[in-house]
Amino acid sequence: MEGLIALAGANIAVDALADDARAQRYYTFCGHTYTTASCPHPLGLPRVDDKGLPLRPSDGRQIDDLGRLIDGHARPIDEQGQLLLGPEGQPLPPAPRSRICLDVVHKRFGLRTHRDGSWYRCCGGQVRKLMDCCAHTSRRINGDEALTGYCYDGRKVFCVYYFDTHVPC
């Protein structure tokens, strides 16, 4: 009887490890739970503005390609809006701001990308627009086989990113 209980316990442990391995293959942010990973973003979560430029995920403030907060002139600033200064006391120069799907993915992976389809979810009381970054590719950013998703003209999903609409839901 004890052997049977030990065998059952071992099977449960093996099943739990398999579930953990499957769960590690999923990439999630509010409104998205699937096996396609996020598009490259300076701060991880792929939040963008309506032009596809990076925003800080926590509060939607504009950031540059280095992940620094920026002012209306693309100059790096601190949390209080003061210009960041270099060791000599001069303001740091602006860094580029690149569109996550159309520029960053293209530059890093050599793919001609398109912002094709999208879908919507309610996240934190507002509508979130989730978007597929599509390309003529057989592999996704995480190396798995690419899926059609909401892509057109034979393109497949390479990675995903999102825009918070500020529309209540």
Task: Give the residue extent of every domain in the chain.
Answer: 26-62+97-168
pLDDT in tens, 97-144: 999 999 999 999 999 999 998 989 998 899 999 999 999 999 999 999
Closest among 166, 39, 37 to 99, alpha carbons compared = 39
Q: Structure tokens of 61?
A: 């403030």
C-alpha–C-alpha distance, residues 13 and 8, integer Å: 9
Strand partners, 123: 126
CB 130 within 8 A of CB 162: yes
The predicted model gives 53-68 an average pLDDT of 97
Q: Structure tokens of 116?
A: 């094709």
pLDDT band, residue 3 (cuts 50/70/90): very low
